[in-house]
Amino acid sequence: MDRKGILIVVSGFSGSGKGTLMKELLSRYPDTYALSISATTRKPREGEEDGREYFFISKDEFEKMIAKGELIEYAKYVENYYGTPRAYVEQKLKEGKDVILEIEIQGALKVRKSFPGTLLLFVTPPSAQELKARLVGRGTETMDVIRSRMDRACEEAEGMDSYDYLIVNDNLDSCVEELHEIIQGEHHRSFRNKAFMKDIREDLKRLKGED
Ligand code: ADP
Ligand code: 5GP
């Protein structure tokens, strides 16, 4: 059976561990998944590299990409623009990869509108206290930024019901496997296998007529 790639959106509170989870998923199953790299106007954090975590671009460049239709979606998040470049996603889906977009909720809902079969996953830590501890523990932001990310988390928590699955990132190892199983299970949904069903129906009729 031809394997068609699934478009997957992974959202979750900043600090919930999405980045860590994705890195682990990709390293365990490099042939199955492709992770889209977003463009952003935010400044790189220490250790981040242009073209690896994000394409770090100026506001001008970002606006040009919007104008040329080169982004599937974009959103403003805590004063910066973030967007998903179209070309890579379309290419990888064509190759049969499951393509993951790690984006926030406004973008997630826009993607589902333009790509109706999109699978929406929401990652959360086991508790609010744990979220704050992870944000502080990561040590990449000032207390001010952490506060605005906690505010944003309150807003985002209201949108969790729009997602297909809730992924609780408690133990990293088991969470990665859970994610993989959910996504791979999704391939068996009947609406994703219309071509197969059509073929087998036709073959059954043909076979029936042969005797
Ligand atoms: P996000 O990409 O969602 O903003 P990160 O992947 O940067 O989050 O994770 C935030 C912090 O939490 C990091 O310091 C990371 O090492 C830690 N972390 C991620 N997953 C877990 C986990 N399952 N248990 C404990 N700490 C975790
Ligand atoms: P961070 O600055 O912590 O890397 O990302 C902030 C938020 O922006 C996260 O919720 C992340 O998922 C989201 N994000 C990253 N890339 C994109 C994108 O291309 N589009 C949208 N809509 N959100 C994104």
CATH of the domain at 12: 3.40.50.300
- Point out the ligand 2 atom lying closest to the alpha carbon of residue 102: 12
58 CA to middle of ligand 1, Å?
27
Residue 158 belongs to a domain: yes
Q: How far is CA 206 from CA 179, 193, 198, 202, 209, in A?
A: 40, 20, 12, 6, 5
Total number of domains in the chain: 1
Task: Confirm or reject: Cβ of 132 under 6 Å from ligand 1.
Answer: no
What does pTM read for this prediction? Answer: 0.91
190: left (phi over 0), alpha (psi -120 to 50) or beta: alpha
At 30-61, the pLDDT tens digits run 999 999 999 999 999 889 999 999 999 999 99
Task: Confirm or reject: Cβ of 110 under 6 Å from ligand 1.
Answer: no
> In terms of C-beta distances under 8 Å and separation of at least 24 residues, what long-range contacts does 149-154 make, across chains too?
149/13, 149/14, 149/15, 149/78, 152/13, 152/14, 152/77, 152/78, 153/13, 153/14, 153/15, 153/128
At 59-89, the pLDDT tens digits run 999 999 999 999 999 999 878 999 999 999 9
- Point out the ligand 1 atom lying closest to the alpha carbon of residue 12: 3
Residue 139's domain comprises: 7-210
Residue 168 belongs to a domain: yes
Task: Confirm or reject: Cβ of 98 under 6 Å from ligand 2.
Answer: no
